[in-house]
C-alpha cells in the first residue's frame, strides 16, 4: 500500500514520575508538518510501513476473546439522528478533511486534550496523521498513534561507561493506533466504523472514544445466549406447574390463554363475555377454562354480584365494583374491573409474590415460591461466576439441543473445561458426537472418540498402547483397587 501523508502533528505527553495514574499530566506540541516536509523528515523513517501495517492488521467484529487487542468500533448514533450527531465522528471528520496545516494543528490539539482526560494516560509520543491511499481514494485516512516511553533503554557508548541511558525512548513495536475509516477490504470503506489496536490491559483508547461502541466477543455472546436459555427454562418450569402458586401456574400453563372482560347488559352486573369468541357468550353459560377445569357460573341477579369459580380474588366495594385476575394471551396477569370494563396493567409473571395467593393456602405456596426463587438465584450465581462446576440440571438431549442452537451460525465455538486438572479442549459442536460426559461409580467420566491419534514432542509409552475394548475399561473402572493404584 502506498500512502501519501497530507499533515502530521507530533506531541509529547509527560507524567510526573512516569506514573500512569499521576495527576500531573502535561503535553507539549513539538511540530506539525505537511506532506512535503514529512517526506524529508526522520519521522518518516520511524513510521515507514506503519500505515500499511495498521490497515492490514486482522480484526473480527466479534473477537474470540474479551481482551482482544484489535477491535472494530462503531460510532453511536441515536435512532432518528444522522452520523454527524456523534461528537467523536465530527472530530475525526474535521481532521480528515481539513485543508490548512494550522487548522489541522488546532483540531489535533482538541483531540489530545480529550485524550488527556482519560484515567490511565502514560507518558509517550502522541502522533496524528492524515494520509491518502493513492491507489483507491481521494480522501485521506486518519491515523492516531501512541507510543509509550520505553523504560531502561540504553545505547552502547564507549569502553569506559559501556552504555548510555536513552531518555524518552519510543518504539513502533508497542504502538497503539486508531484508523478511521475502517477498511474491511482494499477499496471498501465503512464510515460508521473505525479500527482500534491496543495490546494492553489498560483500555484507555476505548475510554478516550466515549461515543464509540464495540461489538461483543464470541464468549460474551455465547454466555448471554446460554443465560437466555436458562431463563426460558425457568419460565417453562413455571408455566408447567412448578410455579409456587398452583392457581397462578394453572392460569399460565393450562387451559386456554384467553382474555375476558366484564360488562353490564340489561342492568346486570357479572355478565361474562369472551373476547376471542363473542358469539359463545351469553347469560348463564360457562365461558371457557380459567385453569384446567375451572368454569365460571354466571348466576347473579340484576344488581348483584355473580358467583365466581375458583381463582376469583375480588370483593365488591361500596360502589358495587369488583375486580378479578385473569391471564392474557401473553401469559401476564391482568386486573379487570367489572363495573367499568376497563383493562388495567398488572404484574408480569416474574413479579409474582406470595401475597397474591388466596386465603388459607398462602403458607403452602410461600414454601413453593421460596424453592423456585432459590433455584433462580443458584442459576444467577452460576452464570456470573468465573469458575464453575457441573450443574447437573439438564439431561443430555436438552444440552445437545442448546448446543445446536449456539453452533447453528458458528460451528467453531470452543468447548474448554478441566476434569481434576486435566484440560479438555474441542468445539462445542463436538459434544454428543465425539465428546461425551458420563457418571460411573460416583465419579465423572469424559469419553473422547476419534479415528486417529497425534502425539507431538516428547515420546511416551502411551504411544505403544494397543487399546482394549470400552467394555473392558468400564469393567476395570468398577474394580478400582482400594490401595489407590491406577485402574
pLDDT at residue 9 in the model: 96
Q: What torsion do the CA atoms of 215, 220, 222, 227 make, to the nearest 10 degrees?
A: -120
Residue 319 or 451, more confident: 451
Give the tens place of pLDDT for each residue, 156-176: 988 888 888 888 888 888 889
* Least confident interval from 181-185, 380-384, 440-444, 473-477: 380-384
Give the pTM: 0.61
Asked whether residue 36 falls in the same domain as residue 126, the answer is: yes
Distance CA 331, CA 310 (A): 18
The position carrying cell 564507549 is 158
User: Total domain count for the chain?
Assistant: 3
Provide the percentage of residues in the chain whose pLDDT is more than 70: 69
In a domain, 373, yes or no: no
User: Per the domain annotation, does 134 fall within a domain?
Assistant: yes
Q: Give me the sign of the Cα torsion angle 394, 396, 399, 401.
A: negative
Same domain (yes/no): 82, 155? yes
Regarding whether 156 and 46 lie in a shared domain, the answer is yes
Kindly report, residue by residue over 43-99, the tens digit of the pLDDT. Answer: 998 988 899 999 999 998 888 877 888 999 999 999 999 999 999 999 999 999 999
What is the predicted pLDDT for the residue at 485?
Answer: 54
Domain annotation covers residue 358: no
Are 173 and 305 members of one domain? Answer: no
pLDDT given at position 315: 44
pLDDT digits (tens, 9 = 90+) for 219-260: 888 888 888 888 787 777 665 554 444 433 443 444 333 433
238 domain-assigned: no
Highest mean pLDDT among 239-243, 274-278, 379-383, 452-456: 452-456
pLDDT tops 80 at residue 303: no
The contacts of residue 334 (CB under 8 Å, 6+ apart) are 259, 325, 326, 327, 328, 343, 344, 345, 346
**Residue 190 carries which DSSP code?**
B
Mark whether 399 and 271 lie in a shared domain. Answer: no
Query: 12 and 140: one domain?
Result: yes
pLDDT single digits (tens) 171-223: 888 889 999 999 998 888 999 999 999 877 667 777 789 999 998 888 888 88
The per-residue pLDDT for 366 is 63
Are 287 and 296 within 8 A, CB to CB?
yes
User: Does the pLDDT at position 471 exceed 60?
Assistant: yes
Pairing of strands 422-427, 414-419: antiparallel
Q: Are residues 422 and 324 in the same domain?
A: no
Question: What is the model's pLDDT at position 23?
Answer: 60
Contact 249, 259 (CB under 8 A): no
Chain-centre distance for alpha carbon 44: 41
> Quick check: is 459 in a domain?
yes
Last-in-domain residue among 215, 230, 257:
215
- 224 is a domain residue: no
- Look at residue 2 and give its three-state secondary structure: coil
Q: Are residues 33 and 154 in the same domain?
A: yes
**For residue range 1-36, what is the model confidence (pLDDT) as tens digits?**
788 999 999 999 988 765 555 567 899 999 999 999
Residue 442 structural domain:
395-487
Spatial contact of 160 and 138, defined as CB atoms under 8 Å apart: no
Residue indicated by cell numbers 351469553: 282
Place of cell 520511524: 46
Cβ-contact 396, 432 below 8 angstroms:
yes
Question: What local confidence, expressed as pLDDT, does residue 125 receive?
Answer: 93
- Reported as a single tens digit per residue, the pLDDT across 381-438 is 777 777 888 888 888 998 998 888 888 877 888 888 999 989 999 999 999 999 999 9
Residue 149 CB partners (closer than 8 Å, separation 6+)? 18, 122, 123, 124, 168, 169, 170
252 and 208 share a domain? Answer: no
Q: Report if residue 232 sits inside a domain.
A: no
Using pLDDT thresholds of 50, 70 and 90, give the confidence band for residue 119: confident
Query: From the CB of residue 199, how many other CB atoms can be counted at a distance below 10 Å?
Result: 12
Distances (CA, A) of 338 to 173, 198, 294, 331, 405: 75, 64, 19, 21, 46
pLDDT digits (tens, 9 = 90+) for 322-368: 344 444 444 444 444 333 333 333 333 344 444 444 444 444 456 66
Domain-ending residue, one of 315, 330, 351: 351
Specify if 138 maps to a domain. yes
What pLDDT score was predicted for residue 67? 81
Which of 329, 351, 373 is the C-terminal boundary of a domain?
351
Which spans in 178-327 are helix H? 204-208, 218-237, 246-253
Residue 126 is predicted with a pLDDT of 95
| Together in a domain, 209 and 257 | no
Distance in Å from the first CA to the final CA of the chain: 62
Q: Are residues 294 and 401 in the same domain?
A: no
Same structural domain for residues 104 and 155? yes
Q: Which of 41, 29, 35 is nearest to 4 (CA)?
A: 35
Distance CA 223, CA 217 (A): 10
Amino acid at each position: 500500500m502506498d500512502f501519501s501523508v497530507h499533515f502530521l502533528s507530533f506531541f509529547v505527553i509527560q507524567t510526573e514520575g512516569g506514573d500512569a495514574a499521576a495527576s500531573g499530566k502535561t503535553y507539549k506540541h513539538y511540530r506539525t508538518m505537511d506532506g512535503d516536509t514529512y517526506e524529508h523528515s526522520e519521522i518518516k523513517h520511524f513510521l515507514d510501513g506503519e500505515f500499511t501495517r495498521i490497515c492490514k492488521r486482522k480484526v473480527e467484529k466479534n473477537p474470540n476473546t474479551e481482551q482482544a487487542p484489535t477491535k472494530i468500533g462503531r460510532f453511536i448514533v441515536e435512532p432518528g439522528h444522522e452520523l454527524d450527531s456523534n461528537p467523536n465522528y465530527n472530530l475525526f471528520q474535521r481532521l480528515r478533511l481539513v485543508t490548512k496545516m494550522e487548522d489541522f494543528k488546532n483540531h489535533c490539539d482538541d483531540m489530545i486534550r480529550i485524550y488527556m482526560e482519560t484515567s490511565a494516560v502514560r507518558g509517550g509520543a502522541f502522533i496524528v496523521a492524515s494520509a491518502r491511499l493513492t491507489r483507491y481514494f481521494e480522501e485521506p485516512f486518519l491515523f492516531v498513534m501512541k507510543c509509550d516511553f520505553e523504560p531502561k533503554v540504553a545505547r552502547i557508548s564507549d569502553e569506559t561507561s559501556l552504555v548510555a541511558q536513552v531518555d524518552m525512548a519510543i518504539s513502533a513495536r508497542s504502538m497503539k493506533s486508531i484508523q478511521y475509516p475502517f477498511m474491511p477490504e482494499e477499496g471498501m470503506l465503512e464510515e460508521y466504523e473505525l479500527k482500534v489496536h491496543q495490546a494492553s490491559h489498560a483500555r484507555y483508547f476505548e475510554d478516550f472514544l466515549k461515543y464509540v461502541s464495540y461489538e461483543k466477543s464470541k464468549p460474551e455472546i455465547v454466555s448471554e445466549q446460554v443465560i437466555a436459555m436458562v431463563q426460558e427454562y425457568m419460565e417453562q418450569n413455571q408455566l408447567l406447574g412448578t410455579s409456587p402458586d398452583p392457581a397462578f401456574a394453572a392460569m399460565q400453563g393450562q387451559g386456554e390463554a384467553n382474555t375476558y372482560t366484564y360488562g353490564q347488559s340489561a342492568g346486570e352486573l357479572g355478565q361474562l363475555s369472551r373476547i376471542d369468541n363473542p358469539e359463545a357468550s351469553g347469560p348463564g353459560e360457562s365461558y371457557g377454562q380459567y385453569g384446567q377445569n375451572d368454569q365460571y357460573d354466571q348466576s347473579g341477579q340484576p344488581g348483584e354480584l355473580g358467583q365466581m369459580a375458583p381463582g376469583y380474588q375480588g370483593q365488591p366495594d361500596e360502589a358495587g365494583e369488583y375486580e378479578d385476575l385473569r391471564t392474557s394471551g401473553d401469559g401476564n396477569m391482568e386486573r379487570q374491573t367489572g363495573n367499568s370494563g376497563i383493562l388495567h396493567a398488572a404484574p408480569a409473571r416474574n413479579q409474582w409474590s406470595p401475597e397474591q395467593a388466596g386465603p388459607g393456602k398462602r403458607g403452602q405456596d410461600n414454601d413453593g415460591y421460596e424453592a423456585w426463587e432459590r433455584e433462580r438465584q443458584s442459576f444467577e450465581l452460576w452464570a456470573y461466576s468465573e469458575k464453575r462446576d457441573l450443574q447437573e440440571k439438564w439431561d443430555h438431549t436438552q444440552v445437545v439441543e442448546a448446543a445446536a442452537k449456539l453452533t447453528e451460525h458458528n460451528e467453531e465455538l470452543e468447548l474448554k473445561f478441566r476434569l481434576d486438572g486435566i484440560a479438555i479442549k474441542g468445539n462445542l459442536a463436538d459434544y454428543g458426537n465425539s465428546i461425551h460426559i458420563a457418571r460411573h461409580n460416583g465419579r465423572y467420566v469424559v469419553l473422547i472418540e476419534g479415528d486417529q491419534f497425534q502425539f507431538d514432542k516428547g515420546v511416551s509409552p502411551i504411544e505403544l498402547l494397543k487399546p482394549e475394548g470400552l467394555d473392558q475399561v468400564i469393567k476395570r473402572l468398577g474394580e478400582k483397587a482400594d490401595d489407590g493404584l491406577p485402574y
